[in-house]
Structure 1
Amino acid sequence: MDLEPGGVKNSKMKGVGSDSSKDMIFRADKIDLKNLDAQLEKHLSKVWSRKSEQERPKEVWEIDLAKLEIRYAFAHGAFGTVYRGIYDNQDVAVKVLDWGEDGVTTAAETAVLRASFRQEVAVWHKLDHPHVTKFIGASMGTSNLKIPEDSSSTHGENSPPSRACCVVVEYLPGGTLKQFLFKNRRKKLAFKLVVQLALDLSRGISYLHSKKIVHRDVKTENMLLDRFARLKIADFGVARVEAMNPSDMTGETGTLGYMAPEVLEGMPYNHRCDVYSFGICLWEIYCCDMPYPDLSFADLSAAVVRQNLRPEIPRCCPSSFANIMRKCWDGNPNKRPEMEDVVRMLEAVDTRKGGGMIPEDHTPTCFCFTHPRGP
C-alpha cells in the first residue's frame, strides 16, 4: 500500500495536491479536518465501548451490570434521572448522569459532568455510617445500561445517552426530608422527632467531617428517610475532601438559603460552612417550613451577608434548641461549634416536656405567642 507523508493514501487524495503523483504534496487548507475529527471520534467511541468496558481494569466500586435491573424513573433533575431498581436482589436507587451527548451540551459542560461523577464516586464509596446513604457501586460511561424506554420518557425526558454513567445506592422509601416536612407543614412534628432527626443529621455530618469531607450542599432536599423515619445523608455531587489551605476552597457552591455568608461572598471557607447549613436545617425541621420564601437571590444574599439575616425562631421553640440554631448559623465561622459538639448539645436537649412547634391555626396551650421567652 502506497502511503505519502502523513500516512495518507495518494489514491484517496485526488485533486488535493499537485498533478504529479510522484511528488504529491498535500495542502492542509484543503483537508476537511472537522470531518476527519468527527470520523475519528466516532471510531474511538466504538472502540471505547467495545474494548474499554471489557479490557480495562475494574475499579473497586464498579458494579456488575448483569445484576442490575432498572424498573422506572421517580425523580428528575439537572444532573439526570433517578430510577428505582434491583441490584443483586436488593432494592436500589440508580442515579444516571448524562454524558452530554445530546448535541446541545458543550464540551466544557460535559467535562464538568464527568468530573462531578468521578468526585461523587470517589467520596461516597469510602463512606460507611448509619446516617449516610449506603453506596453500592457505580458504572462509568457504560453503553450496556438497560433502561426501559417507557421509564426514560416519563415527564417528557429524552432517551438516555448511549454512554451513561450511574451511581447505585440503597433505596430509602421515606423520600426526602424536605418532602416529609412539607407533608407535616400544618400539624408540625413532635419535639422528640424533631430532635431525633436533628441528631441523625448532626451525627452524619460529624462523621463526614471526621473523614475530612465537606458536603457543601447540606439541605433537607439532600437528606433521605427510611421506613422508620431514620435520616441518611445523600448526594455527594459537590462534596470534596477539605483543603489544608482554606484559600483553596472558594466559590459559591451550595443552595441559596443554606449557604454560609463566607460562601456567598466567594471567600475562603472550611467545613464550618456545613455547620451553618445545618443550623438552617434545624429551623426547617422544627418549623416544617421554608426559610426566606419571599426573597430573591440578590436580596437574600445581601441580607444574609450584610444584615445578618436569619430565619425568625418561633417563641415556642425551647431555648436549648434555639440556642443551637443561633450558634450554628453565626456569621463568624470561627464561632460556630464543631459538629461533634453539636451532637453533644442535642443529646442534652430534654424532649420529655414536649416543646414542638405550635401550628398557627391552633389555639396555643402555652403563652409562647403572647409573652416573649428568654433566649
Structure 2
Amino acid sequence: MKDNEDGFVEIEKVDSATEQFHQQQEQQPVMPSIYTTLTKQQMFQNITKSFRGEESFATDQPQEFQPLDNLSSRLRCTSLDCIELGNFVGKGGEGRVYSGRWKKSQVAIKVISHPYMTKTLANHLDLIMNISNSYCIPHHAYTYDSDNSKLYIIMEKMDCSLWEFIIENKKRLSVKEKIEIFLCISKGMFYLHDMKPPILHLDLKLENILMNVGQNGKPSHVKLTDFGLAQFKTTDLLVLDSPLGTLRAISPEILRNGECSEKCDVYSFGILMYELLFSKVAYVDEDDSVDGNEMILMAVANQNRRPKIPLIHDKYCDNEQELPLFEELLDLMQKCWNNSPSERPSFDDITSTLEKLLL
C-alpha cells in the first residue's frame, strides 16, 4: 500500500448524500421549559454510555498484536501485505471504508483507528469474525497495523447501500419488494439477537443495509453491515448539524438514560421502515424542522415525537391491491417505534408478520 505521511492512502473528500442536509442551520432558539426533563449534556452522556457499554476499550492494557485464541478466527488473521486499498467508499461512525483486493478478490475494507490491541477488542473481533448468516455481511479476515494504529477488517463487497438506492438514486420499489427487503433485515436482526450473548446493532439504518443490484435493476442479496461495531463509534455521532446521522433512528430510552436492549434495534427498524416506505429521510422537511435537530431529539425522548406520517398513501403504492399491505406495514412500523420498549415486537414476531404479508 502506498501511504502518505500519516500512514494513510490519500483520500479525496466525498460529499455525503444530499447538499440540503448539510446546510448550516440558523442559531437554535432557547430551549423551552417542556424539555427540562433532559438536558443536551445528559443526552450526549447517555448516547456515549450506550455505545461504549460498561467496559471501555480504553481501560484495557495494551497488548502486542497476536491472532485470536479461537481457531476459526486465528485462521482469518491476515498479513498487511496481502491487502490492497482502493478507492475511498464512505465514512461511518467507526471508521472509513475502501474498496480493495485481498487474495485476488474484490472486497470492502473497513479501516478503524485504534491506539492499541486489547483483550476486549480481540474478544470482540472473535465474535464478529464467527458470525455466519445469509443476511449479515461476512467478515473474511482482519489485521492490525501497530505502526499506524489501524485495524483493518476485510468484508464482502456489495454494489451499494439501501440509502444510495432509495434516497440518492430515488429508485421506486413495489410494496411487495419493500416487504421482501424488510424481511431480509428482520431475519438478520433475529439471528444477531438470538446469539449468546445477543449482538445489538445500535446503528440500524438505510446506510447500513447493503445490497447488490440484479439485472432487472432491483435489489438482491440484502444484508446487514456494521453490526457489533457499536464500541468503535466516535464522538462524530454526537454532531447534530444534520439529520443524516445515526441519531435520527436512536431510541428514546437511549436518549433518556443510555439503556440498551434488543428493543432499541426494533425502534430503529421502525424508523428504517418509515424511510423505505415513504422514500424520505425521517424528520426532514417537516413543518417544525426549523426548531433544529437537537430539539427534535429532545421531543423524541420527552414527548413521544416520531416522523410525520403522510395522510394520503395511494401515491406510495403501484396499484389499489397494494394499499392494504401498505397499511399493514404502517401498523407494524408504529408498533416498532412504540415509546415503551416492552410494547415493541421482537424480530421473531416481526419476521412472522412480514412472512404472512407475503402469502
TM over 0.5: yes
Q: What is residue 311 of structure 1 aligned with on the other side? A: 307
d(CA) in 2 for partners of 1:141, 1:114: 14
Contact persistence 2:179–2:358 (CA under 8 A): no
Give CA-to-partner distance per residue, 1:107-151, whole Å, 9 cap, x none.
xxx47x9799657524321210111001101112344xxxxxxxx
Q: Map Cα deviations across residues 69-126 of structure 1 (whole Å, 9 max, x no partner).
A: 2233222356443221121232111111224xxxxxxxxxx47x97996575243212
Question: Deviation per CA, 1:154-206, whole angstroms, max 9, x where unpaired?
Answer: xxxxxxxx342211001112x11111111453x63211211111111111111
Counterpart for residue 53 of structure 2: none
Determine if contact 2:128/2:228 at 8 Å carries over to the other structure: no
Normalized per residue, which structure has more helix? 2
Is the Cα contact below 8 Å between 2:267 and 2:337 reproduced in 1?
yes
CA distance in 1, matches of 2:149, 2:223: 30
Residue of structure 2 in register with 1:365 after alignment:
none
Q: Distance in 2 between matches of 1:348 and 1:234?
A: 26
Matched, 1:323 2:331: yes
Cα pair distance change 1:256/1:168, threshold 3 Å: same
1:273: which partner in 2? Answer: 264
CA distance in 2 between counterparts of 1:114 and 1:81 reads 21
Alpha-carbon distance between aligned partners in 2 of 1:261 and 1:233, rounded to the nearest angstrom: 23
Taking structure 1 as the reference length, what is the TM-score of the superposition?
Answer: 0.62
Quote the offset at 1:321 in angstroms: 0.9
Closer/same/farther in 2, CA of residues 117 and 73 from structure 1, 3 Å limit = farther
Percent of aligned positions that are identical: 28
Matches within 5 A, 1:199-348: 199-211=183-195, 212-228=198-214, 229=219, 230-236=221-227, 238-239=229-230, 255-294=246-285, 295=289, 296-314=292-310, 315-316=312-313, 318-348=326-356
1:215 partner SS: coil
Structure 2: stretches of 5+ with no match in the other structure: 1-61, 232-237, 239-244, 314-322
Q: CA RMSD in A?
A: 2.9
Aligned to 2:180: 196
Aligned to 1:141: 145
CA 1:332–1:218 in structure 2 vs 1: closer, same or farther (change >3 Å)?
A: same
Tell me the residue number matched to 2:44: none
Give the aligned residue type for 1:273: C
2:132 counterpart of 1:128 = yes
**Shift in Å at residue 67 of structure 1?**
3.3
Query: Which residue of the other structure, out of 326, 335, 349, is the alignment partner of 2:357?
Result: 349
Q: With a CA cutoff of 8 Å and minimum separation of 6, indicate the structure with the bigger relative contact order.
A: 2
The aligned amino acid for 1:307 is Q
- Give the structure 1 partner of residue 161 of structure 2: 176
User: Which SS does the other structure have where 1:85 is aligned?
Assistant: strand
- The 1:279–1:256 alpha-carbon spacing in structure 2 relative to 1, beyond 3 Å, is same
How far, CA to CA, are the matches of 1:320 and 1:131 in structure 2? 24
Query: 1:81 corresponds to which letter in structure 2?
Result: R
**TM-score, normalised relative to structure 2:** 0.64
Work out which of the two has the higher radius of gyration on C-alpha atoms and give 1 or 2: 1
Structure 1 255/337 Cα, relative in aligned 2: closer, same or farther at 3 Å? same
Deviation per CA, 1:214-248, whole angstroms, max 9, x where unpaired?
Answer: 111111111111233231111136447xxxxxxxx
Does 1:93 pair with 2:108? Answer: yes
The count of residues paired between Structure 1 and Structure 2 equals: 257
Q: Is the 8 A contact 2:200 2:228 kept in 1?
A: no
